[in-house]
Structure formats: C-alpha cells, structure tokens
Structure 1
Amino acid sequence: MTWTAPELQPTRTLVGADERPMLQSWLDFHRQTLLGKCGGLDGEQLATRSVEPSSLSLLGLVRHLTDVERGWFRTSAAGEEIEPVYGTEAEPDADFDDVAALPADEVFAAFHAEVAACDAAVAALSLDHVFHVPWRSDDYTLRWVYLHMIEEYARHNGHADLLRERIDGVTGSF
C-alpha cells in the first residue's frame, strides 16, 4: 500500500505576528515537509535504510519524531507521565530499529495522533512556562522547546531529502 502525503500548505508570512503563532506555523510547516517527503512511497520504500551500518529510514524518522514530540511537549513541558511510543530504556533506538514491524499506516496514524496531543497539551501554557528536565539537569522554557523542535525537524528533513533521493530519485520541495 502506498502512503499519500497531505497537500503541503505554503508557510504564511507572519511578519509582525505574535511569536507563538509564528513558532507554531514553522513547526507545522516542518511537520508537513517530513510527511511530504514520505508521500507516494510504499511500506518497503519507507523502511529503506540509507547506507550500512546506519539504521536511518524515512519511517524511522517519522517514528523518532513521534517520540521526540511526546518527550519534549507532553512529558517534559506539560509534565505528563507517559512512556515513549517506540523507544524503551532497554532499547532507546527502537524508533529507528525494526521499522518493518508496524505497517506504515499505523506509524503515520501514531504520528498524527501524537502531534494533535502535543499541540493540545501545551496550548494553555505560556512560552515562558519553565520546567525541569531531570535527565538533563536543566530548566527549559516552552519557547526553547518550540525552537528546538523546529531545528530538530529541519535537520531531519535534510536527512529525509537524501533518503527520498536514494529511494526513487525525487528531489526538491513537496
């Protein structure tokens, strides 16, 4: 089965907009970009590894970002006591490993559900909301999380560009 990406919405120019809508717009743009890089591929193609010994794949990136979203927005910023979707203490890289174990449609459904849950979890929090991350021994703000997530997606979207080109030669924006 081939996965169909959503239509990529152009990023609106938010010059002069408030900071929160600007940050949310850029995060949403990068979320959509990742999904666009996965569009039109079947499960086997989505699970294709970059090069040995790397376990990097498009499906692994979607799984990884599902866990990263959950970890920063829901577990850290919102203080929810929930486990990662894929990673475990015993297998911290499970998001990239064994990507063929779940059908791609289930991975994308989990991603969409997590994004919606993350957005809802922090909707009422101020960008200045401060929280402590014990595994990092530091305090962070929600503003920092938005900036970090935009950076995280931008970096991994670069990986997705290369992976997609390796799979079927497709390059460019989606």
Structure 2
Amino acid sequence: MSTDDPYASVTPAPSLEVRSDDFTHGEELPVEFRDPEIGGKQTSPQLSWSGVPAGTKSFAITCYDPDAPTGVGFMHWAVANIPAGVTSLPAGAGAPGATGMLTLPNDIRLPQYVGPNPPPGSGRHRYVFVVHAVDVEVLEIDPGLTPTVLGFNLHFHTLARGHMTGWVDAAEA
C-alpha cells in the first residue's frame, strides 16, 4: 500500500480498488476540482470503488493533503454513512447537502468538499481520496465534529480501504 494512505500505519486494512473518471492516480488534479481562487470550480471528482469485502454495511470517503504546512496535514472532505449498495459518487457529490449522508466540517469548518489551493511557495501537494468499507450502517458521529473523530471511528470499523492521489503544485512565492 502506498505511503500516501494516511490511515495505513495506524489501521492496516485489505485493499479496495478506487478509480475516477475525472483524474488518474499519481497525476495532476484537473483545475475544475480546485479552489475557485486558482481557477477551479470547487467540485469533488467522480469516484468509484470495487473489491468490497463481505460484511460491508456502509462507506466513508475522505480527502486529505498530507503536505499542507500545518504539521498535521489538511482535511478537504469527510463523508460517512454512504449506503453499502453505493459504489460510486458522481462529480460534485461534495457540494453542500449533495449526498444526503453525514458530511463533517473540513479543516476550514465547511461541511463540504473544498478544492486544493496550496499556499504559494509550499511546493507540490498530494490530495489523497480514501474510500473506507465500514462494518456498520451508521457511524454515530455528531455532524459538528471533525474528520479526526471520523478517523478515530474508522479505526474500529474499517474492513477495507483504497485510495487515489492527485497533486497540485503551489504557485511560486
């Protein structure tokens, strides 16, 4: 498993296959999926997954920038309680209220996907989209809590996990 997976060292799990019609793993994230300040549309990319293990009762998705100059990274999106029968989300599913599932506030406290906009001079940033197969239908998390609380709950309930990584270069300072 790639070192991009922020959960691998604390919660090893079998792999899911994750893919997107909108970007290729390891390649630059297209502009439309970035912050409007840098020409984007703040649209979450389409994601699909397969290889779901028996016992999966729901899914969760996170998008994380491990290269943010914060010491702890930056969470761009966290959604949970996606029904087990759903194996893809369309582009734009991260818009406010789009999924009808539990969307936790990201690191700028908005309950939606927020597109990449790395600070000038901070180099290349990876954006890791992680899909988690979960062993319960509903993770009982207060919708005002953080993606960190979701990660803690996923530690105890993840059956399998897969990810895709896109990158964006920061503007020169």
Greater Cα radius of gyration, structure 1 or 2? 1
Taking structure 2 as the reference length, the TM-score comes to 0.27
Structure with greater proportional helix content: 1
Taking structure 1 as the reference length, the TM-score comes to 0.27
